[in-house]
Amino acid sequence: MVKKSVCLFCSLGCGLACRVEGREAVAIDYDRNNPVNLGALCPRGYYNYELLNHPGRLTSPSVGGEDGSWGEAASKVRRELQGIDPGSIGIVVSPLMSLEEGAIAAALAEKLKTRYLCVGGGLADNDAALGASWRLAEDHPATLEEIETSDRLLIIGDILTRTPVLSRRINAVKAKKGSRIIVVDPHRSHAAWFASRHITLKSGMEVLFAAALVKLLSGADEAELAALTDKIGVPMSALKETAADLFGPEPGTVIVVPSPNRRRNDLLIYFVRILAGLTNKKWISFHEGGNIVGLNALFDGRHPGRARYFELIKKLKQGAIQGLFLLGEDLSDLESVAPKLLIKSRFFKSKLSREAICFPQASHLELAGSYIFSGNRRENALPLVPAAGGRDLAAWLAEIFELDVEGARHQAADTAVKMAGELFDLETVMNEAAKIEPMPDCQVENVTNFAGNELASNFFWYRANNKR
């Protein structure tokens, strides 16, 4: 039997089809009618299903590294939480989780009376989600279809490493007579192969490049622009020609890839949104975690005063977080700052499992769930196979804390991406951007980077050892 689902390893959200025999997913079968990807998958999408059959997966809870029952683990959680100050509890939800799971985590935050509720997946994507939520007089987000109908593309970052399957749409633009594709990246990236013009600049200076375009189009004087281009490491001609390419009647899209290779991805998204408005173009961003935009929108709507990811990490490092729920998420630098109580749900045991109360994590391919991908596209997926270990996050969290699963489902269904954050004036944001300095040269991302998490090594272990 062939069943359909989606890939969550980036925010393009390609459709995939999988051959299922009994309770087991046995092979990928391409979903050629899917309008997002026409069946195409990158290596991350292709190997999605292999996680399901991995013999090393956690299928029962463990306490302090020892296997235990669901009841024992649940009682331990309840007991240990009694000694923790509610204001010092953090909840981090993987961006590979559904809106329904996110809504359960939000209900948990409410129950525990904590404001530390955030999406994992790293600073770059979370900052970008923050920049996308700031209020502007007008906003012009693009759909996937509008990328393909563009005559002008400005691409900031390596879109084809982050989101390889988007190459079909970029190629469609490239094939058009008179189209222009401008790629801004310090490296000769994969995306640069498609470029009509590749603008190289000092590492991490993309934010200031976008700010300089905004300044140029708003009538800044030559001396100010000369100082900026000097700091960015681009000739003034590159800035002016990019502005001229964008500023015209042709349909166009600015595509942004948030990256850990630059600081202040929030400001980059903010400037790109203003730039799109000034040039009558649209904008879209592509992220590493599939549902990062949807989950941030859900949490912003439900808990407007919540702490963001960077605040939680800061508090953790200060030792101010005593209890931490890591739901489908690992924090690599946690070992040095481990809180008093750590409750995790994961696919595999990790070093941190010895210190934690661990629950097995179901894959999104085993659950029904909804997701919001780039272009604010919503997808609902059905399970391919039953969850290993038999229980999903919503079931065990709801049981331990008596959470309202039905209410959470309604909240997931009502989630929409909208401007919910602060309103800043341009000068304030320009002043913030002016503080950015070039970064040391960074490694180019690799297409087989599975969101920097445990899945990477385990996928390939399984592939090498499974003879089927």
Name the residue with the smallest CB distance to ligand SF4: 45
Stretch that binds ligand SF4, among 20-28, 41-49, 258-266, 460-468 (CB under 6 A): 41-49
> Is 163 near ligand SF4 (CB under 6 A)?
yes
13: CB partners within 8 A, 6+ apart: 6, 7, 36, 290, 371, 373, 374, 377, 379
Which positions ≥6 away from 448 have C-beta within 8 Å? 43, 44, 456
Min. distance of Cβ 272 from ligand SF4 in angstroms?
Answer: 21
H-helix or E-strand spanning residue 27: strand 24-29
The minimum distance between CB 41 and ligand SF4, in angstroms, equals 4
Rounded Cα–Cα distance for residues 17 and 6 (Å): 8
Say which residue the tokens 């084809």 belong to: 160
Q: Which is closer to ligand SF4, CB of 41 or CB of 381?
A: 41
Task: Give the DSSP per-residue string, 68-129.
Answer: --HHHHHHHHHHHHTTS-GGGEEEEE-TTS-HHHHHHHHHHHHHHT--EEEE-S-HHHHHHH
* Cβ nearer to ligand SF4, comparing 62 with 163: 163
Cβ proximity to ligand SF4, 47 vs 359, nearer residue:
47
CB atoms within 10 A of CB 406: 8
Residue type, 175: A
**Based on CB atoms, which residue is closest to ligand SF4, 31 or 300?**
31
Q: Of 261, 131, 280, which Cα lies nearest the Cα of 205?
A: 261
| Closer residue to ligand SF4 (CB): 126 or 374 | 374
Choice from 5, 13, 117, 362 touching ligand SF4 (CB under 6 A): 13
Q: Is 47 in the site for ligand SF4 (CB under 6 A)?
A: no
Q: Which is nearer to ligand SF4, 44 or 391 (CB)?
A: 44
User: What one-character-per-residue DSSP string does 222-277 give?
Assistant: HHHHHHHHHHHT--HHHHHHHHHHHSSSS-EEEEE---TTSS-HHHHHHHHHHHHH
CB of 366 to ligand SF4, least distance (A): 17
Task: Please state, in angstroms and as integers, the Cα–Cα distance from residue 465 to each residue in 53, 347, 373, 380, 461, following that order.
Answer: 12, 18, 33, 33, 6
12 part of the interface to ligand SF4, by CB under 6 A: yes
User: Where does 374-429 show beta strands of DSSP type E?
Assistant: 377-381
- Give the C-alpha separation, 381 to 363, whole Å: 12
Closest approach, Cβ 199 to ligand SF4, in A, equals 24
- Does 117 interact with ligand SF4 (rule: CB under 6 A)? no
Q: Which of residues 74-103 bind ligand SF4 (CB under 6 A)?
A: none
Q: Which of 95, 120, 131, 164 binds ligand SF4 (CB under 6 A)?
A: 164
- Closer to ligand SF4 at the Cβ: 7 or 455? 7
Cα separation, 93 vs 232, in Å, equals 36
- Among 41, 232, 255, 412, contact with ligand SF4 (rule: CB under 6 A): 41
Query: Any contact of residue 9 with ligand SF4 (CB under 6 A)?
Result: yes
CA distances from 49 to 18, 63, 92 (A): 8, 28, 24
In the complex with ligand SF4, which residue's Cβ is closer, 257 or 275?
257
Residue 209 or 371: the one with the smaller Cβ distance to ligand SF4 is: 371
CB of 106 to ligand SF4, least distance (A): 25
Residue 45 engages ligand SF4 in binding (rule: CB under 6 A)? yes
Q: Is 165 near ligand SF4 (CB under 6 A)?
A: yes
Q: Does 291 bind ligand SF4 (CB under 6 A)?
A: no
Stretch touching ligand SF4 by CB under 6 A, among 36-44, 229-237, 292-300, 312-320:
36-44
Q: How far apart are CB 447 and ligand SF4 at their closest, in Å? A: 9
End-to-end CA distance of the chain: 18
Exposure on the CB side of residue 240, measured as CA atoms within 13 A? 9
363: which DSSP letter? P
Judge whether 388 and 375 are in contact, CB under 8 Å.
no
Q: Residue 41 or 181: which CB sits closer to ligand SF4?
A: 41
Per CB under 6 A, does 160 bind ligand SF4?
Answer: no
Strand partners for 4: 17
Q: Which residues in this chain contact ligand SF4 in the complex, by CB under 6 A?
A: 7, 9-10, 12-14, 37, 41-42, 44-45, 163-165
